[in-house]
């Protein structure tokens, strides 16, 4: 189930259901509630000096952004079981890498969407990030190079890749 397309986000069925429930709430009850807050603040008078009105409009903007994010995420979601425990890096895998091949300097993270991590304490790297794109599809023992934010290149070695529980 390796997904290397930058437009696909791997989600479990429960993860998908949780995000869908959030979207349903945001597009239904939440929108009705924020409209009421804006109307109530508008009735207080002068909008230029009305902090409640501006706060409600700000909340509305943030909420509408989250609705767009959820909509896009769910439209491109690939729903299914965790990827196979094959030792091949793919979205949905918890990956251990060693920097510059030094197995004492390692990092463990989930390759996938931040929504996949849930309450987990593991860091999440997107498959579209420079590191994620470099290791996606690599096997245990493979090395990969990627560009750092400062423009330099770094090398990592895949030490482990296990499906996210």
Q: What is the pLDDT of residues 110-136, one digit of tens each?
A: 888 766 655 457 788 888 889 999 999
Instruction: Say what the pLDDT of residue 37 is.
Output: 92
pLDDT band at 4 (very low <50, low <70, confident <90, very high): very low
In a domain, 84, yes or no: no
For residues 118 and 75, which has the higher predicted lDDT (pLDDT)?
A: 75
For residues 53 and 11, which has the higher predicted lDDT (pLDDT)?
A: 53
Give the end of a domain, one of 32, 54, 79.
Answer: 79
Contact 90, 3 (CB under 8 A): yes
In a domain, 86, yes or no: no
Question: Over the chain, what is the mean pLDDT?
Answer: 84
In a domain, 1, yes or no: no
In a domain, 85, yes or no: no
In a domain, 3, yes or no: no
Instruction: Say what the pLDDT of residue 143 is.
Output: 94
Instruction: Say what the pLDDT of residue 165 is.
Output: 66
Number of domains observed in the structure of the chain: 2
CATH of the domain at 119: 3.10.50.30
Based on the domain organization, do 64 and 19 belong to the same domain?
Answer: yes
Contact 123, 109 (CB under 8 A): yes
- Domain range for residue 36? 9-79
Based on the domain organization, do 72 and 40 belong to the same domain?
Answer: yes
Give the residue carrying structure tokens 């390692």.
106
In a domain, 132, yes or no: yes
CATH of the domain at 41: 1.10.287.180
Based on the domain organization, do 121 and 70 belong to the same domain?
Answer: no
In a domain, 60, yes or no: yes
121 — phi, psi (to 5°)? -95, 10
pLDDT band at 11 (very low <50, low <70, confident <90, very high): confident
Q: What is the pLDDT of residues 78-101, one digit of tens each?
A: 776 666 778 899 888 889 999 986
In a domain, 4, yes or no: no
Based on the domain organization, do 14 and 46 belong to the same domain?
Answer: yes
Give the end of a domain, one of 25, 53, 79.
Answer: 79
Q: Each residue of 91-121: b (16+ CB within 10 Å) or e?
A: bbbbbbbbeeeeeeeeeebbbbbebbbeeee
pLDDT band at 68 (very low <50, low <70, confident <90, very high): very high
What does the pLDDT average to over 49-71? Answer: 92
């Amino acid at each position: 189930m390796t997904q290397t397309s930058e437009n696909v986000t791997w989600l479990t069925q429960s993860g998908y259901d949780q995000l869908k429930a959030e979207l349903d709430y945001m597009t239904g009850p939440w929108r009705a509630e924020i409209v009421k807050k804006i109307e109530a603040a508008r009735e207080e008078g002068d909008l230029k000096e009305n902090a409640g009105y501006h706060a409600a409009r700000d909340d509305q903007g943030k909420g509408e952004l989250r609705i767009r994010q959820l909509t896009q995420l769910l439209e491109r979601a690939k729903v299914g079981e965790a990827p196979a425990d094959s030792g091949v890096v793919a979205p949905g895998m918890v990956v251990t890498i060693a920097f510059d091949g030094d197995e004492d300097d390692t990092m463990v993270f989930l390759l996938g969407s931040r929504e996949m991590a849930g309450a987990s304490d593991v860091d999440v790297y997107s498959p579209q990030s420079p590191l994620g794109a470099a290791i996606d599809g690599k096997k245990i023992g493979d090395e990969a190079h990627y560009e750092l934010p400062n423009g330099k290149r770094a090398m990592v070695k895949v030490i482990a890749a296990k499906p996210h529980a």
